[in-house]
């Protein structure tokens, strides 16, 4: 079933099924706008829709414009001022202004470009859809372009000074947790809410059981083997929770061989000092060792498993958003 973030996939399916989809994309926002630039809504000719561009306060007008765009095959840029009263109705403290591009798939947004975008997303390739809102010229671009690379790193779509819009499509976030211990239970639940796809690794069947982690992906392989198969990328966080060198150390070494944006390890300062000694003895460069966040999590005075999980997810978020 398509989700709220699967707009390109849904639009392509609807187009190929003859349902004449129209995609609305937030280009710019000012003030307390409900949704950031890059947010999308897709509307089929029978009225079915997915996504949002404003949290509900201008969707009706966008849907009406989408019908006109579908009829004449031309895109249009809409500007909405979200009044204080409308903003309050959707839970905002004050109003804002948004610009929205409405594009019929096929006539304004070429099917071939949309299909290439869907393929890139399926292959977990970081990519951007670049175009000019007024003239079109849709194309895909990757991190080899400086302006695209900067926006991929910040995970932020938007308009450039030359008028181009760069719509970011980063791979989904992943969290790999080594050690199906008690802290992992709230951590994977919180991570899923925050938009991560979690995977648990623990060769100990008593820990990594369906009863303790219902519905979660659990791998019973040794951590280094499991990580090799998972191939962490720049949208992946790796957390080790066993503080058992037999399990954590191979996982850490495997994570070092990847571009994972976060590596965190549970353990006291004394435990971490011993870990560092082992890694240095194994010849690991200091630049790699510096990637480790340990003791894992932000120092918020956490005590319970849920609080520790919260501190870990907060630190992961800080690393992702602030670098």
pLDDT in tens, 200-224: 999 998 898 999 999 999 999 999 9
Bridge partners, 40 (sequence order): 25
Fold designation for 173-322? Rossmann fold (3.40.50)
Q: Domain extents for the chain?
A: 7-169, 173-322
- Nearest Cα to 70, choosing from 8, 131, 16, 23? 23
Q: What per-residue confidence (pLDDT) applies to 314?
A: 98
How many residues in total does the chain contain?
323
Point out the residues of the chain with pLDDT beneath 50: 1-2, 91-93
Q: What per-residue confidence (pLDDT) applies to 58?
A: 80
Q: Which two tokens stand for residue 71?
A: 């009829």
Phi, psi of 111 (to 5 degrees): -60, -40
Angle between helical axes of 245-256 and 223-230 (0-180°, round to 10)? 30
Instruction: Determine the Cα–Cα distance for residues 235 and 50; give it in Å rounded to an integer.
Output: 25
Question: If you ran DSSP here, which 8-state letter would residue 109 be given?
Answer: B
Residue 200: other Cβ atoms inside 10 A: 26
- Who contacts 143 (Cβ-Cβ below 8 Å, separation ≥6)? 126, 149, 152
Contact 157, 165 (CB under 8 A): yes
Q: Which two tokens stand for residue 209?
A: 């059981």
Q: What per-residue confidence (pLDDT) applies to 113?
A: 97
Q: What per-residue confidence (pLDDT) applies to 200?
A: 97
Angle between helical axes of 269-281 and 245-256 (0-180°, round to 10)? 60
Instruction: Determine the Cα–Cα distance for residues 73 and 102; give it in Å rounded to an integer.
Output: 10
Q: What per-residue confidence (pLDDT) applies to 204?
A: 93
Q: What angle do CA 263, 266, 269 make, to 5 degrees?
A: 105
The Cα-based distances of 277 to 17, 189, 243, 245, 283 in angstroms read 60, 33, 14, 12, 10
DSSP E strand stretches across the chain: 22-31, 40-43, 49-51, 76-82, 96-104, 127-132, 136-141, 158-159, 165-169, 173-178, 196-201, 217-219, 236-240, 262-265, 292-293
pLDDT in tens, 22-34: 999 999 987 766 6
Q: What per-residue confidence (pLDDT) applies to 153?
A: 85
The Cα-based distances of 262 to 105, 220, 269, 283, 321 in angstroms read 38, 22, 19, 21, 11
Question: If you ran DSSP here, which 8-state letter would residue 173 be given?
Answer: E
211 CA to centre of own chain: 28
Instruction: Specify the DSSP element, H or E, that contains 11.
Output: helix 7-16
Bridge partners, 98 (sequence order): 29, 80
From its phi and psi, is residue 316 left (phi > 0), alpha (psi between -120 and 50) or beta?
alpha
Parallel/antiparallel/unpaired status of strands 196-201 and 217-219: parallel
Q: What per-residue confidence (pLDDT) applies to 56?
A: 67
């Amino acid at each position: 079933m398509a989700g709220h973030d699967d707009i390109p996939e849904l639009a392509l399916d609807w187009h190929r099924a003859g349902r004449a989809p129209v995609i609305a994309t937030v280009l710019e926002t000012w003030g307390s706008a409900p949704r950031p630039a890059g947010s999308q809504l897709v509307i089929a000719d029978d009225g079915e829709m997915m996504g949002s561009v404003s949290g509900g306060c201008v969707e009706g007008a966008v849907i009406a414009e989408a019908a006109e765009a579908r009829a004449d095959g031309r895109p249009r840029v809409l500007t909405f001022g979200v009044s204080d009263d409308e903003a309050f109705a959707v839970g905002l403290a004050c109003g804002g202004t948004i610009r929205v591009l409405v594009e019929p798939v096929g006539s304004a947004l070429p099917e071939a470009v949309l299909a290439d975008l869907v393929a890139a997303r399926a292959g977990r390739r970081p990519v951007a859809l670049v175009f000019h809102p007024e003239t079109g010229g849709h194309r895909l671009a990757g991190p080899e372009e400086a302006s695209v690379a900067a926006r991929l790193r910040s995970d932020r779509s938007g308009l450039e000074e030359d008028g181009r819009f760069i719509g970011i499509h980063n791979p989904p976030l992943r969290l790999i947790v080594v050690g199906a211990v008690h802290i992992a239970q709230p951590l994977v639940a919180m991570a899923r809410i925050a938009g991560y796809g979690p995977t648990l690794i623990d060769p100990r069947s008593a820990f990594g059981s369906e009863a303790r982690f219902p519905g979660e992906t659990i791998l019973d392989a040794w951590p280094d083997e499991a990580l090799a198969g998972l191939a962490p990328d720049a949208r992946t966080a790796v957390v080790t929770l066993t503080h058992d060198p037999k399990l954590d150390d191979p996982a850490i070494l495997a994570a070092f061989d990847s571009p994972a944006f976060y590596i965190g390890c549970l353990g006291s300062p004394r435990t971490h000092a011993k870990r560092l000694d082992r890694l240095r003895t194994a010849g690991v460069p200091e630049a790699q060792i510096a990637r480790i966040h340990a003791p894992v999590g932000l120092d918020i005075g956490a005590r319970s498993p849920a609080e520790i999980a919260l501190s870990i997810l907060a630190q992961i978020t800080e690393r992702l958003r602030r670098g």
